[in-house]
Chain A
Amino acid sequence: MRITCPWCGERDHQEFTYRGDAAAKRPAMSDESIEAHQAYVYDRENPDGAHRELWNHTGGCRKHLVVTRNTLTHQITLCEPIGPWAKRLKAAAK
């Protein structure tokens, strides 16, 4: 599986560390519902098909990105930079 880091370019997935489901939304800290926080920490969908997930390029630039990966074929269709450097990385990629 090859992942295209917005900064470093295409690399083997072994350079990256999986950081979890990018679709999970953290409840507001003011939300006192135990169920909402438990769902955020533990409950995950198990989709067959496109899945947005967080990866960190630990063996390279150490930036996070959102990878859209097909869970059936491992085909990667999109790698998006996130975080405070995302805007600059997107501009550099154009």
Chain B
Amino acid sequence: MVNTPDKVSPLADLAMPNRPAGRQPQVELSERLCDSLVQVQAWPGTMAKVHKAISDVTGTRPAKGHAAALKGPVCIMPAGPGRYLIEDETENLEIRLRAAIGAHLGAVTGLTHGRVVVAIRGEKAAWVLASGIAINFDPSAFPVGDVRLTHHHDIGVTIHRTAEDAFDLYVFTSFARGFWHWISTAAEEVGYSVG
């Protein structure tokens, strides 16, 4: 549940901490605060310079392949060729990235208010997600630390596997209530709590 003066969560009246009676919860759902979320898209010939600019601003470089790069509160997630979703605790991340990455290097887009992060954790987390998202959640195909871009029906979702039994799901703010309705309904079968 996230409510700050300038950011009102669409899940404010849904993601209320509770514990359904009569069943031992096997997953925990929660909404995680996302202070700054920025998308950076490099142009095809400027990736090296954009990587350096990201490193200068955040203190870490994008990882190779589909792995997220983590350093303290900074998380750099690959979101396509030359495209990254960067999360940080500081609220001026977009301003600093925009200053470091001019239009000649790439495009910087603030998504802080455009995404909601739903976290799911627990022994049955992958099982719950697999009931509605058609990607392979086996750790051999989707290892810890990796990021996948996919959708649940028509709701786009970026999935970061933070542990073998934990995932952060970045969904569009305007679809967050529908997504929460689905994931909480899917989790009812195994029992869930809201943290």
Contacts and interface: CB of A to CB of B under 8 A. Distances in A.
A11 B44 contact: no
Interface stretch (A25-33, A42-50, A59-67): A59-67
B148 interface: yes
Interface stretch (B76-84, B120-128, B164-172): B76-84
User: Chain A interface mostly helix, strand, loop or mixed?
Assistant: loop
A90 to B, nearest CB: 11
Contacts of B156: 59
A88 B81 CA distance: 8
B130 interface: no
A78 interface: no
B150 A11 contact: yes
Contacts of B32: none
Nearest to A88: B81
A39 B85 CA distance: 42
Contacts of A61: 79-81, 83, 149
A60 B157 CA distance: 9
B80 A62 contact: yes
A8 B149 contact: yes
A20 B151 CA distance: 22
Contacts of B47: 88
B33 to A, nearest CB: 26
B149 A60 contact: yes
B63 interface: no
B8 interface: no
A42 B135 CA distance: 36
Contact of B80 (A12, A15, A63, A84): A63
Interface in B102-151: 134-135, 148-151
Given A11-B134, A11-B135, A12-B134, A85 B81 contact: yes
Given A60-B80, A60-B151, A89-B81, 14 more contacts: A7-B81, A8-B148, A14-B134, A15-B134, A59-B150, A59-B151, A59-B156, A63-B80, A84-B43, A84-B44, A85-B44, A85-B81, A88-B47, A88-B81
Interface of A: 7-8, 11-12, 14-15, 59-63, 84-85, 88-89
21 contacts: A7-B80, A7-B81, A8-B148, A8-B150, A11-B134, A11-B150, A15-B150, A59-B149, A59-B150, A59-B156, A60-B151, A61-B80, A61-B81, A61-B83, A62-B80, A63-B81, A84-B44, A85-B81, A85-B82, A88-B81, A89-B81
